Amino acid sequence: MRNKNTLPQPDICILEEQVELTLDDLRCACSVSAEKIIELVDVGVLEPIGSEPTCWSFDGISLNRARVVLRLQRDIGTDIVGAALALELLDEIKLLRTRLRAVDAGYPFDDHADEQN
């Protein structure tokens, strides 16, 4: 018997960066069409390895990025370009927090490390 006060349990998926996902794997994991994943590639949210969709492979980070953008679209109703921009800003915040922690811990941080990539 289910208690009314029980919160829904989120699906948890832990993937390493080295895992390889096909377009179909990524589509299924995100519960969207292949066309939606292709759209995420077209706007630069995802960067597959391979020259065409039938040969694409994605890493575990791609799954996380796709889910974040799709959630932003669903939850706040932004278009894909707005969600991609929000993801870019979230990435920047994460980087800045990492830099701040390094500075607070007394570790030197190379401000020009990003420019080499």
Distance CA 76, CA 71 (A): 8
How do residues 38-81 score in pLDDT, each as one tens digit? 999 999 999 999 989 999 999 989 999 999 999 999 999 999 99
Question: Which domains are present in the chain?
Answer: 21-106 (1.10.1660.10)
pTM: 0.71
DSSP state of 112: T
Task: Assess contact for 20 and 58: CB atoms under 8 A.
Answer: yes
CB proximity list for 61: less than 8 A, separation 6 or greater: 17
